[in-house]
Every structure is written in C-alpha cells, then in structure tokens.
C-alpha cells in the first residue's frame, strides 16, 4: 500500500475528515489532501506527529514505499546544492564586473 493510501486509511478508520485533521495540525485541508494524493509529502516532524495522531508506527506508515524515501533524498540533495549555487552566482557576478570594464 502506498503512503498516501495509508494516511487516508488511518484517517478514515478514526472517522476523521481532512478538515478535522488539518485543524488539529494547524494546516490547510488542501495540505492533508496533497499528502494523501502524494502530490507532496510531510516533513519529518509532521510524519512523527501523524504517527502519534493516528496511533501507527512510523515503520508501518512508511513501509514498502520508496516514493517518500526518494522525496526526502531529493530534498537533501537540494539543500546540499544551495552553497554551490551561491558560489556559482558570486563567481558569475565577479566575472561580469571584471569584464564589464
């Protein structure tokens, strides 16, 4: 079962609406929908809260689903690239200044 389906199943088994969960998490209903439809994924802090809220282990919540793993790895790569992008931007700016004279 996919991550989004697990979330939805956990929510519906507790007879909760997306609106109720969103209110308890201080987020929008659209965010809950996005997680359940796997358009986006919750951050690690939200995953832990979801696990507690739905009374299911993180292992069960994430088990056998590589989409979440790939998403988290992509986020880590994006964070690692930020310093490289900054250095490249500074280098480009320096070249522009140097060659504009």
Domain ranges of the chain: 1-63, 65-101
Higher pLDDT, 57 or 101: 57
Q: What are the tokens at 50?
A: 């979801």
Could you please state the CATH topology (level 3) that the domain comprising 1-63 is classified under: 434 Repressor (Amino-terminal Domain) (1.10.260)
- Answer yes or no: is pLDDT of 72 > 70: no
pTM of the model: 0.63
Would you give the DSSP letter of residue 27?
S
* pLDDT band, residue 11 (cuts 50/70/90): very high
Helices assigned H by DSSP within the chain: 3-13, 18-25, 29-36, 44-54, 58-62, 66-99
């Amino acid at each position: 079962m996919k991550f989004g389906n697990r979330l939805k199943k956990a929510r519906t088994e507790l007879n909760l609406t997306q609106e109720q969960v969103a209110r308890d998490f201080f987020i929008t209903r659209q965010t809950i929908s996005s997680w359940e439809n796997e358009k986006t994924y919750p951050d690690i802090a939200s995953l832990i809260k979801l696990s507690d809220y739905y009374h299911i282990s993180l292992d069960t919540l994430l088990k056998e689903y590589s989409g979440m793993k790939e998403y988290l790895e992509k986020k880590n790569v994006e964070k690692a690239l930020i310093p490289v992008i900054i250095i490249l931007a500074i280098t480009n700016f320096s070249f522009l200044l140097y060659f504009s004279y």
